[in-house]
A and B are shown apart, each in its own frame.
Chain A
């Protein structure tokens, strides 16, 4: 039997998710023995038109050309898998959907007429059927390995949407929402950088975020940023109420909630509620 063919395509993104393949290390050689990687620009293989069994897509859809290209990829691929936050929920750049993108263009670029982008940026699922979503910002090599071996075995990939808290506590990590260990802040006072140790808990998004990263941030004593997207049955309102109780202001909480997965309606709704208490969230 011929080896299954795979392709890795890139849209608006930072390339971090593709790196998960290269970060597999020696296992990438094992993978190459099992599949035929036909298109992976970052690793040197270029064949975007070739029909494949599995297409991994990194990045969000941001231009008219992107729309045409993703539709074409769907036609030539048996399975389409979104890789990471941008492809699955628009990613960081979806923040512009909440603001006036046109105004940003004129403010940021000296010659904005050369930039042609959609008014809003969207995840793949807005334009095509996605067979499986891999979440993360970025995704990691373990997820890729688990996903591909499952697909090769003909099994449905198992990727948890349970909360980060479970993964975190299994590793005996210390809860940043409980232990008073708020990070040192660097403030600039009269041109001098002053370190200020705040006492209190950190604003961790772990309780609403899906597991999968291995509790990377809590393992170094930092609060979760929510990279892996919303967990099943998330409670963003209960979390923002608790964070307010811990002394965080609405603006801080809203920015935190929206940073990576602002495309999620429940997060937008929560941020909106916070902004009615305090104007000018973004």
Chain B
């Protein structure tokens, strides 16, 4: 039997990373809910955001947390533009074509990064990188605590945006009834692009919260994309609460898996969940029936 004192920090650690997973998955699930496609460039766009935050810090000395509005706005702009001018024009009446384009974009972004910045792993150092909070039973590094609180805060803001604003209502209307929403005068192309932009803005914020305790490399998207996909499948495609819950579950699973099985096989615990969900509940914990 493992000591409680080992288990608890692992769970807390899992919750902090899980909150980041949830934030990334929220962006993915928002895009899925509205456009009914999985954005395969999601991981690559996160990687791009991480590089952006990294260079803001290393070139201009801007603290990652201060860079948050810039990163969110930049990723929003990129997402909006991609959807409006490339992805949205690719469908030709078939969703599969949109999938292919997001795959193509991810290949472009990832390999361009590989070409420009090589495959080196880069980290940044901030004054608070090694600060810890003492919770009595466990120590939590400050950046991870900030990431946890920040991710939950953004999730709450997103929830408000979706439920309390006209934009949120338009997005939900379009997600539910495409034809109907168009008939009542919703500018579908604009709203699709807004959704994609907001989904990507989540990545910008995630990058700022992540970098102080993480690293960046051209392949970093891979690590997150599989996790984010699993979170979305686990939570139920298109479900907000599901993404949040799924993120935390996956975070803890990964952390505990790493504790018991070691780092690289710990990732397989996530995959096991992926298969189990597909086997027994392909619509996810909170997803609607397909």
B partners with A: no
Query: A: which residues have CB within 8 A of B?
Result: none
Query: B: which residues have CB within 8 A of A?
Result: none
